Structure 1
Amino acid sequence: MSAAALPPSRHVRVDHASAVYAATRTTRETGRAAGLPDVLTERAAVVTSELASNLNKHAVNGSVVVQRSAIGHGVDVLAADDGPGMADVGHWLLDGNSTTATLGTGLGAVSRMATVFRIRSAPGGGTVAGARLLAPGTPAGRAAAIGHFCLPRDGEEQCGDAVAVAQAHDGWTAVVVDGLGHGPDAAEAADLAVRVFGQNPDRPLTQQLASMHRALRATRGAAVALARIAPHRLDFCGVGNVSGTAVGPGREPRLLLSVPGIVGFSLPAVQVRQAPLSDGDLVLLQTDGVGHGWRTPPPGGKALPLTANALLLAAELAHRHRNPRDDAAMIALHPHWLA
C-alpha cells in the first residue's frame, strides 16, 4: 500500500468574528483540494463554523487547525482554547442546552455530522475538540485511530516538516521528517524523504533511512523518525532532533530517542529499538517544533491523560505545545484500533 503523504495543515487563530469565516473558507478549500464530494466538504465547513463560533463567543486564545485526514478520505478540524471550560460536556452536547441565548444545537450538531467527534473540557482548563469527517468506506474502528498535524512556521506557507503513514504487510508504518531549517529548501528535503518512504513502505526501517540518505544528498538534509506499529509491538528508529513516545494508562511515558546525525549528510549506524505495546497504548512521533512539556505536568498543573485520544492529543499539542517560530509536526496512532 502506498503511503498517505499529508499536505501541510492550516492554522487559523480565532480572535475576531471574521476568523470564523476564514476558518470555514479554509475548510472548503481543503475539502476541494482533497477531491472530497461537495456534500462532505460542506458538512465539514458547517462543523468548522460551529466550533469556531464557540471559540469566538466563549473562549480566550482560541485556534482552529484544518487538514486532510491521515486515515480515510476526509477532513479533520481541530479546535482548542484557553477559555473557562465546561464542567459537564455531556450536558452541552444535548440539543436545547446552550451557554448563550441560542437554540443550543451547536455541539450536538457537530457530534451528529462528524464521523468522529471527541471533546475534553474542564473548568478553568479550556477545551480541546477534534472532528473528523470521512467519506463512506473507512472501517468504523479505524476512524479515530490516528491524529496528526503538520504546521509551517507562522507567516510561512511551505512547511519544512512532513508526516506520512502507510499500512505495511505486518502493521502500520509512520514517519516524521524535519528538513533542516525552514522554508522552501527544508520543504524540498522533507518532501523528498516522504516520497522515498512512499515508494516501498514495507522496507525494513534501517533500509528506509539508507534510501532516504542517498536521495537527500543533494538537499540540505533532514532528521527522520520511523515507527512500525502492530497491535502488540513497536519498532522505532530515528536520526536527528526528532523523537517518539509510547504512552499508556498507569505507566510513565516511554521516550524513544533518535541518534545524532543528518539524513543526507551524516548517517550513523542505526539500530531498531523494539518495545511491547498494550491495548491501551498510543504511539507518538514528533519533530522538535513540538515541545516535550506535554509528557510531564507543569508546576501545580496536570499532565495530559495518558489515555488521550489521538485526535484530541493532536489538538492539544497544536494549540499549547507547538513552537510558532518553527515548523512543527506530529503523528499519533492507537495500534489496537488500526488492527
Structure 2
Amino acid sequence: MASENIYILGIESSCDDTAASIINNGTVLSNVVANQKIHEEYGGVVPELASRAHQQNIVPVVHEALKKAGISKDQLHAVAFTRGPGLMGSLLVGTSFAKSLAFGLGIPLIEVNHMQAHILAHFINEDGFNKPSFPFLAMTISGGHTQIVKVSSYFDMEVIGETIDDAVGEAYDKSGKILGLGYPAGPEIDKRAQLGNPKAFSFTKPKVDGLNFSFSGLKTAIMYFIQRETKNNPNFITENLNDICASIQYTIIGILMDKLKLAVKETGIKHIAIGGGVSANSGIRKALKIGEQKFGWTTYVPKFEFTTDNAAMIAIVGYLKYLEGTFSESDVTASARLKI
C-alpha cells in the first residue's frame, strides 16, 4: 500500500485554531492554520466564539490546503480529523465537516486522538529531524495538557504521568496575567527570562507523588508573592520583570525536568521526545540539551510548526492508520475528554 501515492487530508479543530494539512506518503505538502485573534481580548479562549470562528474558517482553510498541495479533493485517499480531546463545540465543527467530506468523496474517515498526534508528529518526514526509536518517552506540554507517555509503538501508548490540575501552559498564562502581560504569556515570559536572573526569587516546587504534576499551587504562590512585594513597592513588577520571569521559568522547567529524570530512572528509557506548544520554549530546549550531555539522553524536538496545534500532526496519524486499514464508522462522534 505504501508504494502508491497516498494523499491524506488532516483537519484539526480542537481549540481555537482551524487547521488543514495534506500529507503525501508521510511528507507534508501543505499545513494551513487560521488563528483566532479575538481570544486575546478576553485573556483566554472563549468556547462559543471559537466554534463560530471554526464554522467560518473550515471551508477556506481546507480549500487553501488543497490548493497549496497542488491536488484536487478527488485525489484524496482519506480524511483524518481530531475526535478529541478538546472543546466540544470546536470538535463538532471539524468532525461534522470531515464526515460530510469523506462521505461525499466515498473515501475512508479516520479519527485521531489529539494527544497521540502531538507525539506522532515526530514521524513526519522532515529533513534534518530524526524520528525517535521505540520505546521512547514523550512529554507533551501545552496550554491544555501536561503528560509523560511511554510509547512502545505507533499506537501502543501508556500515560505514566500527567497534571492533576493546571497544565504547564496555563501556569505560564496565569503567571503572565498576574504580571500584567498579554495572552498567551508563555512566549513573552520566555523572552524576558533570557534577560533575567533565574535565581533572583525562589518559588517552592509542589510536592506530588510519582510522575504526576501540579501547577496550581505554584500559580497561587506567585500571586501571593507579587501581592506582598507590590504592597511594599508599587513599582516592584516594572523594576524586576525580567528577574521575575526568569525565576518563574526556572521553577517550571525544574518541575518538568525532575519528573522526566524520574521517568527515565523508572523505565530505563533514554529516548525523550517532546511536543505541544510549550516545547517551543527556549529554556526547556536548553534543559533537554543538558540532559543529553549529563545523562546520555537522546532528545527529539519536532519542527516548530508541528509543535503547536496543527493539522499536519493529524494527517500523519491518518496516514499511519490508513496503512494499517484502521478506519472510523460514519456514526463516530466528537469526544471532549478522549484519553490516549
- Superposed pair shares fold, TM > 0.5: no
Structure with bigger RCO (C-alpha 8 Å, 6+ apart): 2
Q: TM-score range by the shorter chain?
A: under 0.3
- Please identify which structure carries the higher strand content: 1
Per the normalisation by structure 2, the TM-score is: 0.26
Q: TM-score, normalised by structure 1?
A: 0.26
